[in-house]
Homo-oligomer: A and B are copies of this chain.
Amino acid sequence: MNPSVEAVALDKAWRLLNHGPTVLVSACHEGVDNVMAAAWACALDFSPAKVTVVLDKSTRTRALIEQSGLFVLQIPTVAQAAMVHKVGHESLADHPNKLAEAGVELFRMPDYDQPMVDGCSGWLLCKVVDEPWNQAVYDLFIGEVVAAWADTRVFRDGHWHFEDADPALRSLHYVAGGRFYAIGEAIDVA
């Protein structure tokens, strides 16, 4: 595990998602780990911190989340763009060796048995808030953030520091057709 990773206060966890990055969603049930990409993830509340994420019924990750009641949203970096695209376009159902083939390395934090993707810049470990209607009708899952961490080289003191970090640590913002945009320069308004 990256030694720069430190806990993020839960009441600042929303800031990891506020600028709209594409995320990786990971989950585990009965020894099966999986990771998918999702562009449709969003902060929902400050405290207790909550998030939304749209998970298609066809995804294996959704099934793991429905069974375990837990998931991790993590913010991948520019250095991981090819991996993010690959885990977003191949299903574990068709590619049993998907994670290894995409070069995904998982780690676990002490006291938490959820798989987290190494090399990301932030992680939000979430417990599903049971909302069967939203899940069935809209594929919309609500999670309450129970723990969060970030790579202090790029997120510390409750703020992103893209402007003075390694450009390879910038967040990814997916559009379509293999096209991402990296986050760009800071703009401060008084």
Binding site for B on A (CB under 8 A): 15, 18-22, 39-45, 50, 52, 54, 78, 81-82, 84-85, 133-134, 138-140, 142, 158-160, 162, 170, 172-190
Please give, as numbers and ranges, the residues of chain B lying within 8 Å of A142 by CB-CB distance: 138
Please give, as numbers and ranges, the residues of chain B lying within 8 Å of A18 by CB-CB distance: 39-40, 173-176
Please give, as numbers and ranges, the residues of chain B lying within 8 Å of A175 by CB-CB distance: 15, 18-19, 159-160
Question: Are B189 and A176 in contact, with the CB atoms below 8 A?
Answer: no
Chain B nearest CB: distance from A15 CB in Å?
A: 6
Of the A-B pairs whose beta carbons lie under 8 Å apart in the complex, a sample of 9, sorted by A's number, is A18-B39, A18-B175, A45-B138, A45-B139, A52-B140, A81-B189, A179-B186, A181-B187, A184-B184
Question: Are A140 and B44 in contact, with the CB atoms below 8 A?
Answer: yes
Question: Are B190 and A178 in contact, with the CB atoms below 8 A?
Answer: yes
Q: Which of B15, B139, B187 contacts A180 (CB 8 A)?
A: B187
Please give, as numbers and ranges, the residues of chain B lying within 8 Å of A174 by CB-CB distance: 18-19
Name the residue of chain B whose CB is nearest to the CB of A134. Answer: B134
Question: Are A182 and B179 in contact, with the CB atoms below 8 A?
Answer: no
Name the residue of chain B whose CB is nearest to the CB of A78. Answer: B187
Question: Once the chains are docked, how many angstroms separate the CA of A179 from the CA of B134?
Answer: 33
Question: Once the chains are docked, how many angstroms separate the CA of A108 from the CA of B173?
Answer: 30
Question: Are A20 and B39 in contact, with the CB atoms below 8 A?
Answer: yes
Chain B nearest CB: distance from A170 CB in Å?
A: 7
Question: Are A189 and B85 in contact, with the CB atoms below 8 A?
Answer: yes
Question: Once the chains are docked, how many angstroms separate the CA of A133 from the CA of B45?
Answer: 15
Question: Are A138 and B44 in contact, with the CB atoms below 8 A?
Answer: yes
Given known contacts A19-B22, A41-B42, A179-B187, what 11 new A-B pairs fall within 8 Å (CB)?
A19-B181, A20-B22, A40-B43, A81-B187, A84-B189, A85-B189, A160-B175, A160-B181, A173-B173, A180-B189, A183-B183
